[in-house]
Amino acid sequence: MQTIIRRDTRAWRMQVWISFGLALLVCAGGLAWLPGQDLDRAFMVMGYVFCLSSTFALARFVRDSAEQTTPDTPQWKLVVWGGFFLALALTGWGLWRMDINPTWKAYLVVSWLYLVSSAFTLAKTLRDQTEADRLETRLRDGERHPASGVADFPHA
């Protein structure tokens, strides 16, 4: 029986990285030239970084939860989901209370959502690539050592 390893195309991986890089660029540009006080700008940079890191943490948590036979503790689930929603809420609150032109606010909101969305897509793409590489290595090693067997591979 032949196992088919599904991989993303090079074009898709390139598009994901370009999209993530572009999201970082438009966010950084918007924050760098943001009118207003330095304290507001610093708060927004921290909010964007908090959102980005919590997005990657949540993406990993959700994917790991789907694959685990033993669930994570409720406290860890609260930390991951709570951190993600807290990052979104605090960043959204910071944007809402800033005394800037509505056009700037719209730009910052759209670039912020683009960053979060592209981070989820990047996290999934990287995880898919890692899993495909691991499966390929297991199958290759299994062919060299047939006694070890390959029947226990999870189906993705």
Chain segment 66-79, per-residue pLDDT in tens: 887 788 888 999 99
The Cα 105–Cα 111 span in angstroms is: 10
pLDDT tens for each residue of 122-135:
999 999 998 888 88
List all residues 6 or more positions away from 89 whose beta carbon is below 8 Å from its beta carbon: none
Which of 57, 35, 49 is CA-nearest to residue 112?
49
The Cα 141–Cα 148 span in angstroms is: 9
pTM of the shown model:
0.79
Q: Where are the alpha helices (DSSP H) in 3-148?
A: 10-32, 38-67, 74-97, 102-144
